[in-house]
């Protein structure tokens, strides 16, 4: 179902990422551009830009190239986060999406700097896309502000720090939800919010998108933990790392059966939040199902 609904959308997202990389080639020195290019165009689910585009359309936005460019800005942030996550000082991963990670090709120091360079680049690209969409200046500023807040210490980066500090500790459900709500959920949630803001959505709709994002963000991480516990590296396209670093996971906390049930409940609650906000979006419902049914 997800392929039938969003297959064409993913093609457009890939085209937008190619446009973003063409722009990046003029913004970054080649020494930084090459590892960034490797990270951005190495494949992936493209879930964040898809959420942005689908939320934009669900809130009445008219689809055109610029909304895919807006989604691409979020994917630049995601790419930087993976570049840093895979570094030897973090998860020390040598495989991502079935390909060598950037630091194994370009070195740790260059990869770290290239990832950092993507942070301001994403903001600039989001502004460019917002202008092309004809978004009001105040809303455009809010879009960039929301993106940076979700990526920063109160969101993804803060969650990554909690993840590192949690090594060797046995976290309870509240602590684990907080960590992953920041590390994974913040960027998924802001993808939806940005799409809604660009479309001129009401406060009620934005609140519904936020609740949906928080729910599928946690469902996504629970499913990741299940896959790490049950799949091999060749199927995942990466080496599972949490067990190697003695990190708490939803599987270690709940067990496999209960973790699987929890992922489905979170996805169901997320879709109910959409309905409660009056958002009728079959593609978002399909994405919620995909999050818990995916195999990698």
Q: State residue 241's pLDDT score.
A: 55
pLDDT tens column, 285-294:
999 999 999 8
Say yes or no to pLDDT of 244 above 60.
no
d(CA 270, CA 218): 10
Residue 269 tokens, joined: 């609650």
Range in 72-86, 192-206, 212-226, 227-241 the model is least confident about: 227-241
Beta bridge partners of 96: 99
d(CA 219, CA 265): 8
Residue 142 tokens, joined: 């809010």
The total number of structural domains in the chain stands at 1
d(CA 202, CA 143): 15
Question: Which residue would you say has higher pLDDT here, 3 or 257?
Answer: 257
Q: Where does the chain show beta strands of DSSP type E?
A: 95-96, 99-100
Longest dimension (CA), the chain: 50
Q: State residue 63's pLDDT score.
A: 84
Q: State residue 294's pLDDT score.
A: 86
Return the axis-axis angle of helices 65-85 and 2-27, rounded to nearest 10°.
80
Say yes or no to pLDDT of 236 above 90.
no
The whole-number average pLDDT for the span 251-277 is 96
Residue 175 neighbours by CB under 8 Å, 6+ apart: 166, 248
Residue 154 neighbours by CB under 8 Å, 6+ apart: 182, 186
Say yes or no to pLDDT of 131 above 70.
yes
Q: State residue 246's pLDDT score.
A: 80
CATH number for 195: 1.10.600.10
Taking alpha carbons only, the member of 13, 12, 3, 65 closest to residue 40 is 13
User: Please, are residues 102 and 35 in contact by the beta-carbon 8 Å criterion?
Assistant: yes
Work out the mean pLDDT of the chain and round it to a whole number.
Answer: 93
Domain housing 275: 2-293
**Percent of the chain's residues with pLDDT above 70:** 94
d(CA 21, CA 31): 14
Q: State residue 7's pLDDT score.
A: 79
């Amino acid at each position: 179902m997800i392929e039938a609904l969003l297959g064409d959308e993913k093609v457009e997202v890939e085209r937008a990422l190619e446009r973003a990389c063409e722009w990046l080639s003029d913004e970054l020195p080649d020494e930084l551009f090459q590892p960034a290019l490797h990270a951005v165009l190495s494949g992936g689910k493209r879930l964040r830009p898809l959420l942005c585009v689908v939320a934009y359309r669900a809130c009445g936005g008219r689809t055109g190239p610029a909304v895919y460019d807006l989604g691409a800005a979020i994917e630049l942030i995601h790419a930087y986060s993976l570049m840093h996550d895979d570094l030897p000082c973090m998860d020390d991963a040598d495989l991502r999406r079935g390909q060598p990670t950037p630091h194994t090709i370009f070195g740790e120091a260059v990869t770290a700097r290239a990832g950092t360079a993507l942070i301001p680049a994403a903001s600039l690209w989001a502004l460019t896309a917002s202008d092309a969409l004809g978004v009001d200046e105040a809303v455009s500023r809010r879009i960039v502000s929301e993106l940076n807040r979700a990526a920063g210490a109160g969101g993804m980066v803060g969650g990554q720090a909690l993840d590192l500090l949690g090594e060797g500790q046995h976290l309870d459900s509240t602590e684990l939800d907080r960590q992953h709500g920041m590390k994974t959920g913040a960027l998924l949630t802001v993808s939806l919010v940005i799409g809604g803001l660009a479309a001129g959505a009401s406060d009620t709709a934005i609140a519904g998108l936020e609740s949906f994002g928080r729910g599928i963000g946690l469902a996504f991480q629970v499913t990741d933990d299940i896959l790490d516990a049950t799949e091999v590296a060749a199927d995942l396209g990466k080496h599972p790392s949490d067990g190697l670093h003695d990190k708490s996971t939803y599987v270690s906390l709940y067990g496999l059966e209960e973790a699987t049930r929890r992922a489905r409940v979170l996805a169901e609650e997320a879709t109910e939040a959409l309905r409660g906000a009056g958002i009728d979006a079959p593609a978002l419902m399909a994405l919620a199902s995909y999050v818990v049914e995916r195999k990698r």
